[in-house]
Structure 1
């Protein structure tokens, strides 16, 4: 879970843990790359707008490095270009904040099922 909003990140981590998944939280895309470069990650949930590298830029970087991991994007932004940008970078889903937890649960299950096998 990558999000610069501490309370949203903590709540999302609790939800994901309640589903039986291991989860780690990062306050920025760069913190994620520094601590967990993407390998052995089943799914990433990432905010789009964060200080420094955006979630979309993170996905583009992982793509360039050949790291195929499903990314679920979340955003409070209402930019009408976001759905297209998410599709173009290979994102699995875009959830507009606030969203119902079941939407995230469904997106996580879909992303994990779609994850390429190593």
Structure 2
């Protein structure tokens, strides 16, 4: 896990993705936009680090080994942690199967996601979380 405390923005975005290059690219984008960023290579790592207490928004891959992003989102909701979540996926055809009645779900984005779209959805998530 990496954290950035140099930026003035007090909002923390967690990125959960098993792909190192995607995690790195998203981390760079969000840090350059002034956010604090925490990265995790899996949903299980995110849970193991009790990260949900410090996170204002979650950006998660849908399909990951061990626990999917959707399973992570449901587990967090069951724990009472309703973190605004943006799902990203390399398999956009599966998006309709995820359902739309998921609490705190902000958006589904295909990989690679457009930077401006992601940043706009994060702003929406942070407004809803405040």
The reply to whether TM is greater than 0.5 is yes
Q: Give me the TM-score of the superposition, normalised by structure 2.
A: 0.82
Q: Is this contact kept in 2: 1:56–1:86, CA < 8 A? A: no
SS at match of 1:89: coil
Aligned to 1:48: 62
Whole-Å separation in 1 of the counterparts to 2:106 and 2:119? 13
Whole-Å separation in 2 of the counterparts to 1:14 and 1:23 = 9
More strand by share: 2
88, 101, 113: which one aligns with 2:101: 88
- Gap runs ≥5 in structure 1: none
TM-score, scaled to structure 1? 0.90
* Pairwise CA RMSD: 1.4
Deviation at 1:99, TM superposition (A): 2.2
Work out which of the residue numbers 63, 79, 82 in structure 2 matches 1:68. Answer: 82
Moved over 3 A (4+): none
Q: May I ask how many residue pairs the two structures share in their alignment?
A: 115
What's the CA shift for 1:84? 5.1
SS in 1 for 2:64: coil
Q: Partner of 2:53: helix, strand, or coil?
A: coil
